[in-house]
Amino acid sequence: KQEVTQIPAALSVPEGENLVLNCSFTDSAIYNLQWFRQDPGKGLTSLLLIQSSQREQTSGRLNASLDKSSGRSTLYIAASQPGDSATYLCAVRPRAGNNRKLIWGLGTSLAVNP
Amino acid sequence: AAGVIQSPRHLIKEKRETATLKCYPIPRHDTVYWYQQGPGQDPQFLISFYEKMQSDKGSIPDRFSAQQFSDYHSELNMSSLELGDSALYFCASSLVREGLGEQFFGPGTRLTVL
């Protein structure tokens, strides 16, 4: 059974720091992995999607890597800003069974302090 | 660009009442997903539809039902509401037949059961 874990659960950093959020999954048989951002009580915004054949994706100050064999993904945020404060969730789309639903981590709650 | 639309954005119901949530996917997307997110929890997959047919079923209670219509919009019907049904309900859509499967989420409907 696929399980997704995110570490740390919460992170507080001063503005300007570079930071790394971690996501691990137990079954490497995935189609893709997605990183999302969620503001308190709000919707989910897709940040980056990495296909299983890819190693990384970049969007602006965000860079996500995928090491499928070790079941790990990292989200790197460069030069963090207070506006980056949110919960970051990763989710995998497994190959096993019906492959359309996502399996989610519990998220990392990020606070960037001015 | 068009996004996933959900209505209503907020809904307050009494116990044992019924509720209907609506979702309008991104144009041309062939798959719709419903998720439930309780306070401080990760999104839980409820049900999905591919080309108007139910494609996967998750932890959806028997009191809930859903369908996708000919115009691809979907409705989640919830009956005999319980206090524990209070949550954020997200709809997502994706274009599965083109292989990417990236899920785009709507803003959610916040359901409060009193």
Q: What is the pLDDT of residues A72-84, one digit of tens each?
A: 999 999 999 999 9
Q: Is the pLDDT of residue A98 over 70?
A: no
Rounded to whole angstroms, the Cα distance separating A39 from A86 reads 5
Q: Is B48 within 8 Å of A36 when comparing Cβ atoms?
A: no
Q: Is the pLDDT of residue B97 over 70?
A: no
Report pLDDT for A55.
Answer: 94
- Contacts of residue A89, Cβ cutoff 8 Å, sequence gap at least 6: A6, A35, A36, A37, A38, A44, A104, A105, A106, A107, B42, B43
Which of B23, B97, B103 is the best mutation test for A, with the most CBs of A within 10 A?
Answer: B103
Q: Is the pLDDT of residue B99 over 80?
A: no
Q: Is the pLDDT of residue B41 over 90?
A: no
Report pLDDT for B46.
Answer: 93
Q: Answer positive or negative: Cα dihedral of B58, B60, B65, B66.
A: negative
Q: Which phi and psi (to 5°) does residue B98 adopt?
A: -95, 10
Q: Is the pLDDT of residue A26 over 90?
A: yes
Q: Is the pLDDT of residue B98 over 70?
A: no
Kindly report which listed range (A43-47, A67-71, A92-96) carries the lowest average pLDDT score.
Answer: A92-96
Kindly report which listed range (A19-33, A72-86, A92-106) carries the lowest average pLDDT score.
Answer: A92-106
Rounded to whole angstroms, the Cα distance separating B108 from B76 reads 12
Residue A112 pLDDT level (bands cut at 50, 70, 90): very high
* Nearest-CA distance B106 → chain A (Å): 6
Closest chain A residue to B5, measured at CA: A43
Least Cα distance to A92 among A31, A43, A46, A45 occurs for A31
Q: Is B107 within 8 Å of A101 when comparing Cβ atoms?
A: no
Q: Is the pLDDT of residue A16 over 70?
A: yes
Q: What CA dihedral angle connects B38, A1, A54 and A31, to 10 degrees?
A: -80
Q: Is A42 within 8 Å of B55 when comparing Cβ atoms?
A: no
pLDDT average, residue stretch B51-75: 91
- B22 vs B57: which has the higher pLDDT: B22
Residue B74 pLDDT level (bands cut at 50, 70, 90): very high
Of B31, B43, B106, the CB nearest to A100: B31
B interface with A, Cβ–Cβ below 8 Å: 31, 33, 41-43, 45, 48, 50, 55-56, 58, 88, 90, 92, 94, 96, 100-108, 110
Are the C-beta atoms of A33 and A66 separated by less than 8 Å? yes
Residue B2 pLDDT level (bands cut at 50, 70, 90): confident
Q: Is the pLDDT of residue A94 over 90?
A: no
pLDDT average, residue stretch A39-54: 88
Rounded to whole angstroms, the Cα distance separating A72 from A64 reads 11
